[in-house]
With several copies, the nearest count.
Chain A
Amino acid sequence: MQRLEEFNMSNNEAIIASKAKRGRKAANLRQYALIFIMIGLFVVFTCLTNAFFTPDNLLNMFRQVSMICIVGVGMTMIIILGDIDLSPGSVMAFVGVMGATVYKMTQSPFLTLVFSLAIGAGVGFVNGFITAKGRIPAFITTLATMQIFRGISFIYTGGNPVSVFDEGFTQFGTGYVGAIPLPVVLMAAVVVVGIFITQYTRFGRHIYAVGGNSKASQWSGISVDRIKIGVFTLSGLFTGLAGLVMAARLGSGQPSAADGFEMDVIAAVILGGASLAGGRGTIFGTVIGVIIIGVLANGLTLLDVSSYWQQVVKGLIIVVAVLIDTKSRKKA
């Protein structure tokens, strides 16, 4: 047993690790089925078009998925809890509109960032608080906040975008750190924070416990409400960040932005192996899910597949990927 490597910390990995001595190769195969699928997609697209495997295009692709990924980290935690969050799209629009407004008023990138994060975290807190204390399904709470914040964004702006073409604002979406786009850097940071929290902190392990069996967790002295509120708040913070990045990329806070965004995020999280029933999922898996979806969208567009056909192809590939993943898990 002691031979197991230290880093095998994740939940899925725990299950796998436990079986390691029974068949290490099999375990690896199972663990990495989705990774193989991802790599397969990379290889296929690289063969099919020269434009795909260039540093420029890869960074471009990562910049495009950065927002899904940032929101996906929080969504993964929420889904591990056994909850769901439908509000990110609306909240991002709201944060974008408000962030742009604040920047217009203050001209301060720092204040804009703080304000955006605060709004996001605030909405997340409200979602978590109502869900936990009111004992109502997160589906309902966040469905309500989704509508409310979309509505408020439209009321506040009268439907018009709040445009800010100032570099100080747009840098959050279009800036670079060295050769790396800033959104990609932010994404990486959020992923690292997410992995750290879920795998290396007490709070993180309590998320899995509550998602696995909330009653037993409560009976073990875990404050289920506090964990829930904490996860929603943290997730809201990330959503706030993503909202700012989106508005900055667009150079305007759009009240209609990111409509249905949450479904893209949830799809990536589920594709990454999390279960809506709770207790299962990893940030790492979500990242793979996000990349698979991003590569598909990017690669198919580069291949000039019409957007109608893209939908069909994407649908087929996703279901086949998950089938392979499940089958390899079972066999191994």
Chain B
Amino acid sequence: MKSITKSFAGVTVLDNIQFDLMEGEVHALMGENGAGKSTLMKILTGVYTKDSGIVEKLDQGGNMVQMEHITPKEAQEKGISIVFQEFNLLNNMSIAENVFIGREPKTKAGTMDWKKLYADTRDILKRVKVDKEPRVLVSELSVAEKQLVEIAKCLSYQADIIVLDEPTSSLTDREVDILFDLITELKSKGTSIIYISHRMEEIFKITDRITVFRDGKFVDTFKTADTTNEELVQCMIGRKLNLEKNTQAKDYKDKDVALEVKNVNVNVTLKSKPFDFRLHKGEILGFFGLVGAGRTEMARIIFGIDKADKAEVYKNGRKIILKSPIDAINNGIALIPEDRKELGLVLSLSVQNNLVLSCLKNLSPIRARKAEEKEIALKYIKDLSVALSSEEQAVEELSGGNQQKVVLGKWLAMKPDILIMDEPTRGIDVGAKAEIYSIMRQLAENGTSILMISSEMPEILHISDRVIVLYEGQKTLDAPVTGLNQEKLMHAAIGGI
């Protein structure tokens, strides 16, 4: 890809970008949120049309052929497949139909060959190690499972170029390992892979070369082996960062209990034992576990979304009844959901309107003080360094990471006493992550208690004061972070106590 330029309604998003991919390599695409990575990939796969520039691809005969204004279908036919950053699944349809959409097997009579469809899907699901029936509707999957289905779908094309746009942002280490095994296997068959991720350790583990963008401009391409974490971060964001394990973690045992949860039973069918836990004032409590461990379910119960028969929630020692999110919010509890598109944002509304959505209550019911709203919006846009052209821009036009920042901002604006964060840094670049950690730390110091669900061990170890690990709905670990390391977390996460 040479001299690619793309602009949306006058704003240049990609400026004279160049990018090359060799056969059988894993090439990382790096850059801050909004740098233009996803946009470039959408041009490659025919979702967007470029304004100018050239895209060439090796064909069967070994010649470079120029690709002009292709459609997604043509891209597929030319051997390019992609896992989009945002889910591109049909919730109303089964896993099998999603995986083989547009290429469903036909019987001789020309009808759908359901048997073959299910059999093929079962095979593919086995490869990504998802234990679900092909018939199950996608709407019933957890975010991580959806992500794996996306990967399965991408694999099923048997393309020679595979684009993975933040495939691991909602996966835990176990699934990441599965994915990496797959990538290694594909690589050995000569498949080229473009890999986008904000998780540094993955980049160094799996990729051969790295290309960095900044603000829609090409910065550099270099071999992974020739660089270090620090250099890469410097190259991306123009400054240095330090992400170590939380060494200043305090013990909050003696502090007031801000939230006490008793008898939560998150996985009724597995007959798991109910568990209790406490969250102290000013504490950051990390929740770790593998996909499907039940962390999200627990958060939903505390936020009043789901009703749990026996669960009891106490705030500051007083029992509270949570029938809906409204009750939770009135009690000062906020939840940053993991599925930002479906649960976190109203995509059609402006950034400002989204940011003030859950704190409107604190403002006048009549919009006399519009300036006040704008002030709030601008504050969080600045604090979280959301890249946008105006606070009146519709959220759906933001890059994935920036959308996530808006979700964070929305709940920070509510100024909760208890902040539950479900995978809060999903898709957020390293620089912004560091800023978010420091915001969390600041909040905690000012007395907010934070419950952070995360699948990233470094993140858990970096920010938490205490860590709880769940395995199939049961608590397998509850300890201050000081004595923990990655091995101990993983041990607990796979059921070892």
Contact = CB atoms under 8 A, between A and B. Distances in A.
Interface of A: 1, 4, 6, 8-9, 11, 14-15, 17-23, 26, 196, 199-206, 208-209, 211-213, 215-223, 279-280, 332
B9 A22 contact: yes
B102 A206 contact: yes
A206 B90 CA distance: 11
Contact of B88 (A21, A201, A216): A216
Interface residues of B, dominant DSSP? loop
B75 to A, nearest CB: 8
- The 4 closest A-B CB pairs, nearest first, are A22-B10, A18-B393, A212-B346, A221-B73
A201 B366 contact: yes
A213 B324 CA distance: 17
28 contacts: A1-B133, A8-B392, A9-B112, A11-B93, A15-B393, A15-B394, A19-B9, A19-B10, A19-B393, A23-B10, A26-B10, A200-B366, A200-B367, A205-B104, A206-B101, A208-B92, A209-B93, A209-B101, A212-B92, A213-B91, A213-B342, A213-B346, A216-B346, A217-B101, A219-B343, A220-B72, A220-B102, A222-B357
Given A219-B305, A219-B337, A220-B102, A18 B135 contact: yes
A14 B350 contact: yes
B345 A216 contact: yes
Interface residues of B, number: 75
B325 A220 contact: yes
Given A200-B366, A208-B346, A219-B344, A17 B392 contact: yes
A220 B394 contact: no
B318 interface: no
A213 B345 contact: yes
A201 B110 contact: yes
A208 B133 contact: no
Contacts of A209: 90, 93, 97, 101, 346, 349, 353, 357
Contact of A220 (B8, B88, B342): B88
B133 A205 contact: no
Contacts of B90: 208-209, 212-213, 216-217, 279
B391 A220 contact: no
Contact of A18 (B45, B326, B389): B389
B484 to A, nearest CB: 31
A208 B349 contact: yes
A15 B133 contact: no
Contacts of A4: 390, 392
Given A14-B93, A18-B390, A19-B9, 11 more contacts: A17-B392, A20-B390, A200-B366, A205-B97, A209-B90, A209-B349, A212-B90, A216-B87, A220-B88, A222-B101, A279-B349
A180 B289 CA distance: 64
B11 A22 contact: yes
Contacts of B348: 11, 208, 212-213, 279-280
B390 A208 contact: no
Contacts of A22: 8-11, 269, 389
B358 A220 contact: yes
Contacts of B482: none
B363 interface: yes
Interface string B107-140: 0001110110000000000000000010111001
Centre residue among B9, B137, B350, B370 by max chain A CB count within 10 A: B9
A20 B140 CA distance: 13
Nearest to B75: A221
B76 interface: yes
A23 B269 CA distance: 11
B218 interface: no
Given A22-B10, A279-B348, A219 B84 contact: yes
Contacts of B219: none
B204 to A, nearest CB: 31
B9 A212 contact: no
B384 interface: no
B329 interface: yes
B345 A222 contact: no
Contacts of A21: 10, 389-390
A14 B88 CA distance: 20
A215 B337 CA distance: 11
A3 to B, nearest CB: 10
A219 B72 contact: yes
Contact of B94 (A14, A199, A206, A220): A14
A315 B133 CA distance: 41
Contacts of A215: 88, 342-343
A219 B414 CA distance: 13
Contacts of A8: 392
B111 A201 contact: yes
A212 B88 contact: no
Interface string B350-372: 10010001101101111100100
A103 B21 CA distance: 67
Contacts of A211: 92
A6 to B, nearest CB: 7
Contacts of A280: 92, 348
A15 to B, nearest CB: 5
Contacts of B153: 220
A204 B103 CA distance: 13
B43 interface: no
A204 B365 CA distance: 10
Contacts of B410: 220
A200 B330 CA distance: 24
Interface in B299-322: 303, 305
B335 interface: yes
B345 to A, nearest CB: 6
Contacts of A212: 90-93, 346-349
Contacts of A279: 90-92, 346, 348-349
B133 A18 contact: yes
Given A1-B390, A213-B346, A215-B343, A220 B357 contact: yes
B366 A14 contact: no
Given A205-B360, A219-B72, A219-B344, A14 B353 contact: yes
A319 to B, nearest CB: 25
A8 B374 CA distance: 13
B9 A221 contact: no
A153 B112 CA distance: 41
Contacts of A221: 71-73, 76, 101-103, 325-326, 328-330, 358, 361
Nearest to B300: A219
Nearest to B351: A18
A1 B137 CA distance: 13
A15 B137 contact: yes
